[in-house]
Amino acid sequence: MSIKIILADDHKIIREGLHALLEKNQSMEVVAEAQDGLTTVRLAKKLLPDIVIMDIGMPDMNGIDATRQIISETKDIRVIALSMHSDRRFVLQMLKAGASGYLLKDSAFEELELAIMTVMSGQPYLSPKITDVVIKEYIHNIPANETTAFSALTAREREVLQLLAEGKTTKQIAVYLSISVKTIETHRQQVMEKLNMHSIAELTKYAIREGLTSL
């Protein structure tokens, strides 16, 4: 029985390349592709794959929140992060969200295959560079309550922040999330107060730095 995989990345060329390489392995089957976090969550719930290979910087919903939602709402789906980010804030938040593995995009394809097989056996898999990041985190004993977007803001506030940072208007966000304009304005005000920021430009820079969206 083949390992069912969903590929989530906002770059089509990366999805197509991974798809072609994975399909050469007879024990693996790519059942779907997604270019944003919301679509990834929806497909994961519908198709119940064994593995989701997840980028972090995606539109509409970032890979960290998508991972958290998939892990909390489904059973037996394992997420492997495949990202260009080796910064500890991305690594740690992805692992806290429930990811079973983390690889960098400059890894060899053979390492991704190894990660899939390792995670399917019930063991976590981290690239050597990522393992180093995690070890240094423990050595330096950084407080667990370090303030990040994922600790300071609610899931809905992060969602609104990401959409604002991606250039959507308050009205567009309200339609997209099926809630009122007034509610969006309230969320935006709460985000600004919590972060002590006073402009969309500041919020956009913060969202990029925290991994909620990318340039």
Residue 215 domain flag: no
Q: What is the CATH number of the domain that holds 167?
A: 1.10.10.10
Residue 46 domain flag: yes
**Does the structure show a pLDDT above 80 at 143?**
no
Do 112 and 70 share a structural domain?
Answer: yes
Do 135 and 177 share a structural domain?
Answer: no
**Does the structure show a pLDDT above 80 at 214?**
no
- The answer to whether 125 touches 115, Cβ cutoff 8 Å, is yes
Residue 111, burial from CB neighbour count under 10 angstroms (0-12, 13-18, 19+): middle
pLDDT in the model for residue 130:
86
Do 69 and 153 share a structural domain?
Answer: no
Backbone dihedral angles phi then psi of residue 22, each to the nearest 5 degrees: -65, -35
Do 38 and 115 share a structural domain?
Answer: yes
Enclosing domain of residue 121: 3-140
Backbone dihedral angles phi then psi of residue 77, each to the nearest 5 degrees: -95, 130
pLDDT in tens, 114-130: 999 999 999 999 988 88
Q: What is the CATH number of the domain that holds 97?
A: 3.40.50.2300
